[in-house]
Amino acid sequence: MSKITGYSYVPQILQDPKGQKFIQSYLPLIPVNIAKPSGLVSPQFDALLDSGSDRNLFPMSLAKYLDITFENLKPKKIYGIGESPINAFPAKVTLWLGNKSYATDADFSTKQNLPILGRDGFFNLFKSVKFDEKGQFVYIEEF
């Protein structure tokens, strides 16, 4: 039987539509660490599970902290909301979830604040990632 780990959604602040009061909204954020292969490990940080993202996308500050450099690499374009793409640089990283590590890839951009876990690079490391919107839990099943 595969191991399944559940993570409670994390509450965030949202202004109500009239802008008069704050309400809580819940996001599927999970705590992960990343490292340069055979290098320094980052502190744990919350990353958004985003099944609509092709790949992992992290703030450039994480690459800087881990001493990941992108010399002689051309930026790749990441398209999302709006018409303009953002530039990002790919790197091989080790991603830690709990006490397990996974060799994977991630893109880093100066234009991205919220760390994002995408399908290719996170979701494909697991047998399944199931969102329980009503219960506000996400269940990650290992292979």
Partner 1 sequence: MMNANILLKYENKWVALSKDRNKVLYTAKTLDNLFKKISQVKKDDVILHYVPPFDGHLSM
Total residues in contact with partner 1, by rule CB under 8 A: 35
Within 6-65, which residues bind partner 1 (CB under 8 A)? 8, 10-15, 19, 22, 24-25, 27, 29, 31, 41-46, 48, 50, 52-53, 59, 61-62, 64-65
In this complex, which beta carbon is closest to partner 1, that of residue 98 or of residue 141?
98
Give least dist CB 30 to partner 1, A.
10
CA-based end-to-end distance of the chain = 9
Q: How many degrees, rounded to 5, is the angle at CA 16 between CA 11 and CA 21?
A: 90
- Amino acid code (one letter) for 37: P
Within 111-130, which residues bind partner 1 (CB under 8 A)? 113-116
In this complex, which beta carbon is closest to partner 1, that of residue 127 or of residue 132?
132
Question: Cα–Cα distance between 45 and 43 in angstroms, integer?
Answer: 6
Question: Cα–Cα distance between 98 and 143 in angstroms, integer?
Answer: 15
Tokens (6 digits) for 113? 């604040």
Nearest by Cα to 70 from 125, 110, 121, 119:
110
Residue 59-98 contact track with partner 1, rule CB under 8 A, x = bound? x-xx-xx--------------xx-----------------
In this complex, which beta carbon is closest to partner 1, that of residue 19 or of residue 143?
19
Task: Return all residues near 85 (Cβ < 8 A) that are at least 6 apart.
Answer: 77, 78, 79
**Which residues contribute to the site for partner 1 (CB under 8 A)?**
8, 10-15, 19, 22, 24-25, 27, 29, 31, 41-46, 48, 50, 52-53, 59, 61-62, 64-65, 80-81, 113-116
